[in-house]
Structure 1
């Protein structure tokens, strides 16, 4: 069972902010920073960059403070007997960088919302969200050093996934994060395992599959909605990615055998 005492997103503090609880809380405290901060770790005060997480166990010394004009964080104080909390391998009291801070921030927003509700499903929802958050924290914790370029790259990738139909070019993407085109391609592949243009193509084909599953647009209309100015080019990339043409993919979705179409069967679309 998990109970939240308090949870807050985007908590803003001035540069004189200090949080000092020598004996710790009688509950767990999870903090995710949006700005740089100083934490007491291994007997000394150390500065950590933005987008770090730190988990304090019950009765563990807590000390952190602002080290810039403003300090902003998300935080949650809670009690839990769930093994994913009590047996976690997260380093207690030691900040570590987050691989995807925006994802964790959204989970915090959902936790804030669920905590404000009063219904029969509240406890179950909170437990699921917290479990997901801890899983994400564990993913980050085992990552090797996260470079400063990681977060601009992550924002760029989110923009690509959210707007695949945009006429993306390598030079434009490099300009967005203020690096050279060559460096962008090197870092993007190193961070995500594929090139930035491959990611654009993956996102466009993923969107095209959704249109083919759930809409009655023509292939030409889908190509245009997915950012292709040439239908043949779209069909060629779609087949390379999926193993079938857009029309074949659509027919399979409707359960129409391909050989029946050659006998004169036509779908309603």
Structure 2
């Protein structure tokens, strides 16, 4: 069971005058900052960067305030008996940087929507969203290598995944981040375990497989849509990654039985 008392997204405050000071909170409280902030941790006030998260247990002291002229955050106050919350290994009262703040923000927005609208599946939707959010907290809380550049790399990777057919080159990607091509290749591989160009190729082939298996485009049309200007080059890369030529892969889709029509 999860009961949300309040949930807000993108709450903005006048920085110099904003302080939250609760000697002993009565509910669970999850806070995401979108600007730098000061938190009371282990008996002292410490500054943490933007895109930090902190989870407070019931009965725990809550104290945080802005460290600049403006403070923006997301927060949710709730009660629950769900083990994924009550038994979480996420450290309470200690802020940590989020691995993927955009993803977490979207989950938070959906939680706010579900909380504000009484729809039939409200309770189960809130549980699923909060469970996913706690999974993302777990992915973040024990990392110590998250830097501001990490967030720029994430945005670049999302852009590649969403538009693999664009004209991606190492210089263009480096310019996207305002860093040198050599440094881009180094930190991209270190962060994601794959080189930036291999990531582009893998996403292009992923998209090509969808077009070939489920679509009616020719191999040349698929190659063009996936960012290739040379069909032979596309075919070589496709076979290297899949073990089949594009046409062989396409034939597999053609041989699948058609779905039955819905009864009228």
Answer yes or no: same fold by TM over 0.5: yes
Give structure 1 regions of 4+ aligned residues with deviation exceeding 3 angstroms. Answer: none
Listed as ranges, the gaps of 5+ residues in structure 1 are 257-269
Listed as ranges, the gaps of 5+ residues in structure 2 are 257-264
Counterpart of 2:4 in structure 1 is: 4
TM-superposed CA distance for 1:255, in Å, is 3.0
1:179-199 Cα shifts (integer Å, max 9, x gaps): 111111000000000011111
SS of equivalent residue, structure 2 residue 148: coil
Number of residues paired by the alignment? Answer: 255
Q: TM-score, normalised by structure 1?
A: 0.92
Q: TM-score, normalised by structure 2?
A: 0.93
Instruction: Check conservation: 2:39, 2:46, Cα contact below 8 A.
Output: yes
1:47 aligns with 2:47: yes
- Cα-Cα RMSD: 1.2
1:202 aligns with 2:194: no
1:13 & 1:89 partners in 2: Cα distance? 31
1:70 aligns with 2:65: no
2:221 & 2:142 partners in 1: Cα distance? 44
TM-superposed CA distance for 1:215, in Å, is 1.8
1:21 & 1:117 partners in 2: Cα distance? 29
Instruction: Check conservation: 2:213, 2:252, Cα contact below 8 A.
Output: no
1:145-181 Cα shifts (integer Å, max 9, x gaps): 2123211111111111111111011111111111111
TM-superposed CA distance for 1:110, in Å, is 1.1
TM-superposed CA distance for 1:119, in Å, is 2.5
TM-superposed CA distance for 1:144, in Å, is 3.1
2:61 & 2:151 partners in 1: Cα distance? 30
SS of equivalent residue, structure 1 residue 85: helix
Counterpart of 2:262 in structure 1 is: none
1:163 & 1:214 partners in 2: Cα distance? 19
1:242 & 1:143 partners in 2: Cα distance? 34
